[in-house]
Amino acid sequence: MSDLISYGFLTPPAVFILLSLVGALLALRWRGFGIAVAVLSSAALYLLAMPVVGSFLLQQVETGIPEAADLASAQAIVVLGGGVHVGDGAAAPDTLAPLSLERVFYAAEAYRNLHLPVAVSGGRVFPPQSAEADLMQAALQQDFGVPVTWRDDQSRTTYENAVYTARLLTPERIATVVVVTHAWHMPRALWAFGRAGLKPLPWPAPRDFARLRRIDDVLPSIAALHDSFSALHEMIGNVYYRLRY
């Protein structure tokens, strides 16, 4: 039952689309109140779909990343999965989703700079899809020439990434790790790895910056709505993790 519930329900666009529908239904009985709910929800949805707002929210999340981390003490690199594009079997096998591909690229960059052993972490969020770790390992080794030393193919959340990776690395006396993920995901990932008993250091993935340079920056777009979703998902997730773990 818990798999059917997600705090992602509280983030746009789902929450405001549902509120708009609820407002429309309420208007059938309480006209003024229902219209107000629908209008306010639609306005909030428009606001969060503006590129300038999405960028600003991402920037607020990314301020939680420590500045100028000293990577000299790092003992391993850990790259976190970011999703799988599910295929239909042998004809179209599962592949890494865009976020995972970006993280694999960042991990290869980290490896070439730091020359540390690499761990990949990511399981099957929706069985029977391929484990993210398996696909990331294949991409790193075959496409980037980066060897993978450890593989966690069981985790389904960021917190599980941290716990299962710690189980792999602690027996090897590895405590300080470079975490590779997107900047907006980094604060929650660092907190989770610290909670799991490791000392995490951030790999400097590209950050976002609020912008207001042209009219397009205030016109709604799907990309901006996705940015707002990612930022608010992390804000809610940070609170949720601290309350639960």
Per-residue pLDDT, averaged over 17-42, amounts to 77
- Please report where in the chains the tokens 């340079």 appear, as a residue: 213
All structural domains of the chain: 2-62+215-244 (no CATH), 71-202 (3.40.50.620)
Kindly report the CA angle at 130 between 126 and 131, in degrees rounded to 5? 85
- The pLDDT, as a whole number, for residue 13 is 66
Calculate the CA 201 to chain-centre distance: 17
Q: What is the pLDDT of residue 4?
A: 43
Q: Which of 116, 196, 202 is nearest to 164 (CA)?
A: 196
CA distances from 74 to 105, 193, 198 (A): 19, 14, 11
Please, which pLDDT band fits residue 165 given cuts at 50, 70 and 90?
very high
Q: What is the pLDDT of residues 210-237, one digit of tens each?
A: 566 667 677 878 888 889 889 988 998 9
Please check the confidence at residue 118 and state whether its pLDDT lies above 60. Answer: yes
User: What rounded mean pLDDT belongs to the chain?
Assistant: 86
- Packed helices 222-244 and 158-169: angle between N→C axes, nearest 10 degrees: 60
- Mean pLDDT within 185-214: 85
**Residues in contact with 26: Cβ distance below 8 Å, sequence separation at least 6, in sequence order:** 33, 34, 37
**DSSP 8-class letter at 157:** S
User: With contact defined as beta carbons under 8 Å apart, do 159 and 194 qualify?
Assistant: no
Kindly state the DSSP code that residue 215 receives in the 8-state scheme: G
How many Å is the maximal CA-CA distance in the chain? 66
Q: How far does Cα 81 stand from its chain's mean position?
A: 9
Q: Put residue 59 in one of left, alpha, beta given phi > 0 → left and psi -120 to 50 → alpha.
A: alpha
Exposure pattern of 201-238 as b/e (b: 16+ CB <10 Å)? bbbbbeebeeeeeeeebeebeeebbebbbbbbbbbebb
Whether the pLDDT of residue 117 is over 80: the answer is yes
Please answer whether residues 96 and 134 qualify as being in contact, where contact means their C-beta atoms are separated by less than 8 angstroms.
no
pLDDT band at 40 (very low <50, low <70, confident <90, very high): confident
DSSP 73: G
Residue (of 117, 154, 159, 163) closest to 133 by Cα position: 154
Q: What is the pLDDT of residue 164?
A: 97
Amino acid 2: pLDDT: 44
3: pLDDT confidence band, cut at 50, 70 and 90?
very low
Asked if the model's pLDDT at residue 89 lies above 50, the reply is yes
Q: What is the pTM of this model?
A: 0.84
